[in-house]
Amino acid sequence: MKRKWKPEESGEMKITELSWKPSKGQASILKGINCVFERGNFYGIIGPNGSGKTSLLKNIMRFVESTEGDIELDSIDLRKYKRREMAGKVSLVPQNTHMEAAFSVYDIVMMGRMPYQRRFEPDTEKDREIVLEAMRLTDCIHLKEKEVSLLSGGEAQRVAAARAIAQDTQWIILDEPISNLDVKHQAEMMNALLYLKEKKEKTIIAVLHDINIAATYCSKIVMMKDGKIYSSGKTEEVLTKENLSNVYEIAFEILENDETKRKYYVPCL
Amino acid sequence: MKKEKKGNQYIFPLVIILLFSVVCSASLGSANLTVLDSLKIIADRIPVLKNLIKTEMIPEVYTRIVWDIRMPRILFAGLTGCGLSVVGAAFQGLFRNPLADPHILGVSSGAAAGATIAMLSGIGFTIMGFGVIGVFAFLGALLTVLIVYRISCVGNKLPVVNILLTGTAISTMLSSLISLLMTFHHNQIEKVYLWTLGSFSAASWSKVVFLTIFVFVCTIVIFIFSKELDVILTGNETAESLGIDTAKIKKIIIVSASLLVAACVSVSGIIGFVGLVVPHCIRILSGPKHQKLIPLTGIGGAVFMIFCDTIARTAAAPSEIPVGVITAMLGTPYFIYLLQRNKRKQVFV
């Protein structure tokens, strides 16, 4: 199949009045979401548990049918895309990355090239290069031949990220990509994403729980509460003492380093 | 890359083993032929080889035994083994469940119910060489899949849990129905029971042709979606994010696999175990990729079934042991041996 999409498309993701409930009769999880994701940004979605972050991603990925409202990507309704077309535009690192399969890490990352391969077509040299590059970026090249079911939680998360990077899409969506990683690998993962944003002009949308990490890496923040967007915009404008304490229902203190002017967000436990 | 080759090197040896077992099996039985004689008789029917071989020395009766009686039965067994194993491999991948086997969707119970009704009602007719039992079994199988499919559909989606549970439930219900019917017809119990155990004794060339069509078409359809099956094995949502329409693939695989099982079961009865174990054994050789797994499993299943059926018809001659008994009794120890040997490595998927 030929690539139907053009890499230079204007591109924004526009969500209008999006509502979603899992099934009839149940309470809505998303209640009228309006938001625009612009290209070339690093978005962090933050909010307490159950605020609808993952549900929003599920709607964007079309794993579920939206109850009301529309999502447009490059000015086209998401529902009009074929899955394969979408896979050339949007990649995902899911929340649960554990895989109970005997595939090698290399095989799994190579699956990221699926949207561009014909049936029974062997992997090309270019595919291999992209896969190895993605594995290098996420520090899993040494795991290449290892079986995925034997990976630790953190390793599996990095492999899933490598697969999404190998998919080489304009949009990379990550659901808690660093939840299982140690501090070093958290920094490496976030730096890799930053590199993709800066050097490859990718757009990153990541659900994050660590406010300090979000503050350090994200250019924009979408703050959610109770299935609605509580606040969104530039990072420092959204991450105010008031917003944080309202959303998380716990007081926050913001400390500033006098030399670096970096802000630290500390919940008052 | 070395790793890429893994699995492919087994195709050729397995095909040789398959051909060898066909010829060997053809020479075994109450009339014992030499392997060479049966090879000659078979080769005599193959257009190009025909002219190179002299069969005048072999008595006519032997030719008839090999070609008209044993060969259809061997091919019949091989095709059934191939079909059931391929479906097993496909279902284990599609449902991400190592316990999945071809009978899991209730197809086989449907076939058994159809066959039972045909046997007990005593209607008698034949369509193109197929008895009423086979026809009813096939219809019963298809009807059951249709019902299971309709019940487990949620909107456009076909959740794995739904389909497995519905299949098992319908299957149990149909088994009870068969038991109920049997209690009202005591004199027919043995016939029904033996049918459900499975047998290749009613083989004929027309059945071979019928089965060949289903086995080839459905196996090719499943094989075409090998890569999709690989990705589905790593998770439904992952597969969708990689551009695979999982709902569509599921439907295609389920429909073609069910047709294949319906065809196998309606002519040979319910032969268990092959579809569960052969894919697992082959997976140890081939690795988890379906592009290698599916063809190897097909050949492996055929070899295994021919082997089992040869024992079934020769071990206690002139009476026959039900082939389903042999598959389980031979397969289990071997499977356990493989599990033990690969303890450190994971066997499934």
Q: How far apart are CA B38 and CA B17, in angstroms?
A: 16
Between CA B230 and CA B247 the distance in angstroms is: 15
Q: Which residue has the higher pLDDT, B334 or A250?
A: A250
Enumerate the β-bridge partners of residue A93. Answer: A174
Nearest-CA neighbor of A91 among A75, A117, A113? A113
Q: Which domains does chain A have, with CATH numbers?
A: 11-82+203-268 (3.40.50.300)
Residue B128, Cβ density class (10 Å: 0-12 exposed, 13-18 middle, ≥19 buried) = exposed
Cβ partners under 8 Å of residue B348, min gap 6: A102, B92, B98, B280, B283
DSSP lists the bridge partners of residue B138 as none
Banded pLDDT at A9 (limits 50, 70, 90):
low
Q: Which of A103, A109, A157, A205 to mutate to test the interface with B (most CBs of B within 10 A)?
A: A103
Tokens of B341: 């040997």
At residue B127, the pLDDT reads 65
For chain A, the residues whose C-beta falls within 8 A of a C-beta of chain B are 61-63, 65, 82-88, 90-92, 94, 96, 99-104, 106-108, 111-112, 114-115, 117, 119-120, 145, 147-150, 160, 167
Q: Please report which confidence band the pLDDT of residue B219 belongs to, taking 50, 70 and 90 as the band edges.
A: very high
Dig out the tokens for A266 from the structure: 């500390």
The rounded distance, in Å, linking the Cα atoms of B194 and B168 is 22
pLDDT at A3 over 50: no
Which stretches of chain B sit within 8 Å of chain A by CB?
Answer: 3, 96, 155, 224, 227, 230-231, 233-235, 237-238, 240-245, 283, 287-289, 291, 345-346, 348-349
CA distance linking residue B85 with residue B91, whole number of Å: 10
pLDDT at A1: 40
Structure tokens at B48: 């190009």
**Residue B31, pLDDT score:** 73
The model's pLDDT over A40-76, given as tens digits with 9 standing for 90+, comes to 899 999 999 989 999 999 999 998 888 889 999 988 8
| B131 bridge partner residues | B126
Q: Residues with Cβ < 8 Å from B175, sequence gap 6 or more?
A: B109, B112
Q: Give per-residue pLDDT as tens, B131-141.
A: 788 888 889 99
Residue B347 scores a pLDDT above 60:
no
Q: What is the mean pLDDT of chain A?
A: 89
The pLDDT tens digits for A204-242 are: 999 999 999 999 999 999 999 999 999 999 998 999 989
Identity of the amino acid at A46:
I
Predicted confidence (pLDDT) at residue B1 exceeds the cutoff of 50: no
User: Which residues face A91 on adjacent strands?
Assistant: A172
Residues of chain B with C-beta less than 8 angstroms from the C-beta of A150: 346
Sheet-wide strand order for A76-77:
A30-38, A12-20, A68-73, A76-77
List, as one string, the DSSP characters of chain A.
----S-TT---EEEEEEEEE-SSTTSPPSEEEEEEEEETT-EEEEE--TTSSHHHHHHHHTTSS--SEEEEEETTEEGGGS-HHHHHTTEEEE-S-----S--BHHHHHHGGGGGGPPTTPPPPHHHHHHHHHHHHHTT-GGGTTSBGGG--HHHHHHHHHHHHHHT--SEEEEESTTTT--HHHHHHHHHHHHHHHHHH--EEEEE-S-HHHHHHH-SEEEEEETTEEEEEEEHHHH--HHHHHHHHTS-EEEEE-TTT--EEEEE--
Of A256-260, B6-10, B19-23, the poorest mean pLDDT is in B6-10
> Among all residues of chain A, which has the CA nearest to that of B239?
A111
pLDDT at A229: 93
Q: Using CA of residue A57, residue A58, residue A60, residue A65, what is the dihedral sign? A: negative
Higher pLDDT, B5 or A136: A136
What domains can you pick out in chain B, each with its CATH number? 7-347 (1.10.3470.10)
Q: How many CB pairs under 8 A join A and B?
A: 82
Residue B348, pLDDT above cutoff 60: no
**What residue has token string 């933050």?**
A46
What pLDDT shows up at residue A5? 47
Q: Do B346 and A102 touch (CB under 8 A)?
A: yes
| CA max distance for chain B | 67
pLDDT of residue A2: 41
- With helix as H, strand as E and coil as C, how does chain B read? CCHHHCCHHHHHHHHHHHHHHHHHHHHCCCCCCCHHHHHHHHHCCCCCHHHHCCCCCCCHHHHHHHHHHHHHHHHHHHHHHHHHHHHHHHHHHHCCCCCCCCCCCCHHHHHHHHHHHHHHHCCCCEECCEEHHHHHHHHHHHHHHHHHHHHHCECCECCHHHHHHHHHHHHHHHHHHHHHHHHHCHHHHHHHHHHHHCCCCCCCHHHHHHHHHHHHHHHHHHHHCHHHHHHHHCCHHHHHHCCCCHHHHHHHHHHHHHHHHHHHHHHHCCCCCHHHHHHHHHHHHHCCCHHHHHHHHHHHHHHHHHHHHHHHHHCCCCCCCCHHHHHHHHHHHHHHHHHHHCCCCCCCC
Average pLDDT of the segment spanning B144-170: 87
Predicted pLDDT at B2: 41
Nearest CB to B242; choose among A85, A115, A150: A115
- Shortest CA distance to B112 belongs to which of B88, B136, B85, B76? B136
**Chain-centre distance for alpha carbon A235:** 17
Task: Taking residues B107-119, report their average pLDDT.
Answer: 89
- pLDDT on residue A203: 93
Which of B227, B242, B349 is opposite residue A119, by nearest beta carbon?
A: B227
